Amino acid sequence: MATLKINDLHVQVEGKEILKGVSFSISEGETVALLGPNGHGKSTLFNAIMGHPRYKITQGSIYLDDLDLTNLSTDERARAGLFLGLQNPAEVPGVINSDFLRAAVNATSEERISTYKFYKLLDNATKELKMPFDLATRSLNEGFSGGEKKRNEILQLMLLNPKIAMLDEIDSGLDVDAIQTVADVINKLEAQGKGFLVISHYARLFDLIKPTRAIVIVNGKIVLDGDPSLIKRIDQTGYEFIKTELGISIEKEESKMNEVSIGSCAVRESIKK
Ligand SMILES: Nc1ncnc2c1ncn2[C@@H]1O[C@H](COP(=O)(O)OP(=O)(O)O)[C@@H](O)[C@H]1O
Ligand SMILES: [Mg+2]
């Protein structure tokens, strides 16, 4: 049974320290919910674990069992058994989805997969995901709806067969039926013994996949690591108790956010008025 161990991880993005000493572990067979207010470092943690070059590890380590992943490339981490389903999957015009998926399968397995075997796998997986097969034959994510992009991330997960999968807001953009379909897939893979680290703001997905533990990140640090009952509490009452019970003040998203969205500009403008 493989265990992913994160020890005292410090991560900088664009020269700014976002993660300030994160330690936890997750083993195959566990499903861990990762919670925390917007902009506090959840996606940064996933990207750093997966080895995204923009997320610079300045201190600490990442191990999968005895293998030190801290300085390995993303594809080496994928080969070791990690997977990341992205919050915002990129559109890649000109790269056919199925070609990309097949290249990814070949890159993470010992031997090359035959065309017949690959299409059989792809056909079964798209059926299980209730995904139209033509999405596999189009350019990767180009013109896909939000929900189709998320389903395509789960399709990759099914084909790549990792030991530990990180899913970043995989339910955003999915309608109720699609959340159920995705949860069914996760539950099946869980039953096969895979580990899941799941970010979501919604209790609905967690109700369906039943995490065994919950971790809360605030201000780039883990402030709670414990019982999954935390999920219900946060869903019902928000993060205020972190302040009142733990004495940790929650830095505001507005002051942390570097990325500017039209929405937040509009909000700022309306606040000024
Ligand atoms: N690629 C990036 N470029 C610039 N800033 C980033 C980038 N990724 C994350 N950040 C910043 O790091 C902080 C944490 O972001 P993130 O990890 O995405 O938060 P969460 O997933 O918890 O909502 C935010 O202030 C965000 O603007
Ligand atoms: Mg995020």
pLDDT of 39-59, one tens digit each? 999 999 999 999 999 999 999
Say how many Å lie between the CA of residue 159 and the centre of ligand 1: 28
Q: What is the DSSP letter of 242?
A: H
Token code pair at residue 128: 């299980």
160-207 confidence digits (pLDDT tens): 999 999 999 999 989 999 999 999 999 999 999 999 999 999 999 999
Global pTM reads 0.91
End-to-end CA distance of the chain: 57
- C-beta 38 within 6 A of ligand 1: yes
Q: Mind listing the domains of the chain with CATH numbers? A: 3-272 (3.40.50.300)
Q: Rounded to the nearest 5 degrees, what angle is found at the Cα of 165, between the Cα atoms of 183 and 31?
A: 60
The H or E element that residue 208 is part of is: helix 203-209
**Residue 265 clears pLDDT 50, i.e. is over it:** no
Say how many Å lie between the CA of residue 257 and the centre of ligand 1: 7
Say how many Å lie between the CA of residue 153 and the centre of ligand 2: 15
CA-closest candidate to residue 193, choices 81, 28, 7, 11 = 28
Distance of CA 70 to the CA centre of its chain: 18
Token code pair at residue 255: 């002051």
Residue 103, Cβ density class (10 Å: 0-12 exposed, 13-18 middle, ≥19 buried): exposed
Token code pair at residue 100: 């990309």
CA-closest candidate to residue 19, choices 77, 60, 63 = 60
- C-beta 181 within 6 A of ligand 1: no
Q: Tell me the ligand closest to 53's alpha carbon.
A: 1
pLDDT the model gives residue 254: 52
Cα–Cα dist 134/116, whole Å: 17
Largest alpha-carbon pair distance within the chain? 62
Atom of ligand 1 nearest to the CA of 41: 17
Residues with CB under 5 A from ligand 2 (ion): 42-43, 87
Q: Tell me the ligand closest to 35's alpha carbon.
A: 1
Amino acid residing at 147: G
Atom of ligand 1 nearest to the CA of 38: 23
CA-closest candidate to residue 13, choices 58, 77, 49 = 58
- C-beta 14 within 6 A of ligand 1: yes
66-119 confidence digits (pLDDT tens): 999 999 999 999 999 999 999 999 999 999 999 999 999 999 888 899 999 999
Residue nearest to atom 18 of ligand 1 (CA): 43
CA distance readout (Å), 65 to 68, 137, 160, 173, 244: 8, 37, 20, 34, 37
Q: C-alpha dihedral over 88, 89, 92, 96, to 10 degrees?
A: -160
The H or E element that residue 224 is part of is: strand 221-226
Say how many Å lie between the CA of residue 27 and the centre of ligand 1: 26
Q: What pairing do the DSSP bridges indicate for beta strands 31-35 and 195-199?
A: parallel
pLDDT the model gives residue 263: 36
Query: Looking at the DSSP assignment, which residues form a beta bridge with residue 122?
Result: none
Radius of gyration of the chain (CA): 19
Q: Which of 9, 10, 12, 13 to mutate to test the pocket of ligand 1 (most atoms within 8 A of CB)?
A: 13
The three-class DSSP label of residue 184 is helix
Mean pLDDT for the chain overall: 91
Atom of ligand 1 nearest to the CA of 40: 22
